[in-house]
Amino acid sequence: MTVRVGVIGAGMIGRDHVRRLTDVVTGAEVVAVTDLDAARAGEVAATAGARVVPTAADLIGQSDVDAVLVASWGPTHAEHVLAAVAAGKPVFCEKPLATDAEDCLRIVEAEIAAGRRLVQVGFMRRYDSGYRELKKILDAGEIGAPLMVHCAHRNASVPESYHSGMAAQDTAVHEIDVLRWLLDDEIVGVQVLTPRRTRHAHAALRDPQIMLFETASGIRIDLEVFVNCRYGYDIQCEAVGEKGLARLPEPARAAVRTAGVTRTGVPQDWRERFVTAFDVEFQEWVDAVAVGEPPGPSAWDGYAATVITDATVEALESGRIVSVGMKDRPAFYAGGAR
């Protein structure tokens, strides 16, 4: 069966996913696109031979749209996801699931009422081969019980519109999701330290930040978020356990020796670093919705990520250790599959 997808949002990420669904993923077809900017929607729709639909509500209601992809501006996500769930259609939502934890909970409740999983959130790190290798090693107990995880998330630079809270909401949110999944544990507390500020950040931006998370089982995670590091896009993760450690592999790049030095290139942005992870993520989503429920990051994971990023922003602003006030996980989402 070909999954016919309707796409809400034709900006940078929406456009890239339309290309992916059209040229890379098998078993999918983009049939409709909508965007507040109709010209932009038209341009992107044309690349897939799809039609433009005036509004998101119209798009979700189209009888030939089997599944919905939400790639619009974050604050609009909740409305579109709730509408797709109400229509009984599987919906893939780019992060965040919603900018507000209460809205995430409304989505969780709507999905539970629908009685089956319809929502998947776009946390693509879980589809990266390096993180998957780490997960296998941890699950097999090869390094013993994990005790500490050291992480870094560096961007070469960020635009002027990037503010201090985005270090948690936009950037660290990837580690927050992938570490909950890797460790099969919940983050319960957070503190944020602010080292000397880089002079390459704009005046109002706290950069870098060091985020310290604690999990329910007592694992400590330190995460350096440095979004004006200048040299490239660099993701590091090292889990230390009772009898060993496991480190995320570097992306494969040739080592060049010339003029007396050895050098290996560093990716320059997240699209380059995680392009394969995005491809795998979409292929697995399409394969799953063609036959049943999507098994990837759930509405509950989207809720958890928003609650934890809210606590992280509070920790940054208050300078205090903040407890994460998460609700109990509903039985519907018990076990890995949900």
Q: Where on the chain is the footprint of ligand ISE (CB under 6 A)?
A: 155, 170-171, 174, 227, 270
Q: Minimum distance between the CB of residue 93 and ligand ISE, rounded to whole angstroms?
A: 14
Do 190 and 321 form a contact (C-beta atoms < 8 A)? Answer: yes
3-state DSSP assignment of residue 322: strand
Q: Minimum distance between the CB of residue 68 and ligand ISE, rounded to whole angstroms?
A: 21
Q: Minimum distance between the CB of residue 69 and ligand ISE, rounded to whole angstroms?
A: 16
Residue 270 or 332 with smaller CB distance to ligand ISE:
270
Of 312, 11, 14, 10, the C-alpha closest to 166 is 312
Q: Minimum distance between the CB of residue 332 and ligand ISE, rounded to whole angstroms?
A: 28
Q: Minimum distance between the CB of residue 225 and ligand ISE, rounded to whole angstroms?
A: 8
Do 311 and 190 form a contact (C-beta atoms < 8 A)? Answer: yes
3-state DSSP assignment of residue 242: coil
Residue 62 or 171 with smaller CB distance to ligand ISE:
171
3-state helix, strand, coil in the chain (%, to 5): 40, 25, 35
Query: How far apart are the C-alpha atoms of 255 and 237, rounded to whole Å?
Result: 21
Q: Residues 7, 10, 11, 15: what is their CA dihedral angle, to the nearest 10 degrees? A: 80
Which H or E run contains 35? Answer: none
User: How would you class 275 by CB atoms within 10 Å of its CB: exposed for 0-12, middle for 13-18, buried for 19 or more?
Assistant: middle
Residue 170 or 301 with smaller CB distance to ligand ISE:
170
Residue 278 or 285 with smaller CB distance to ligand ISE:
278
Residue 249 or 325 with smaller CB distance to ligand ISE:
249
Q: Minimum distance between the CB of residue 290 and ligand ISE, rounded to whole angstroms?
A: 27
Query: How far apart are the C-alpha atoms of 80 and 118, rounded to whole Å?
Result: 13
Residue 213 or 226 with smaller CB distance to ligand ISE:
226
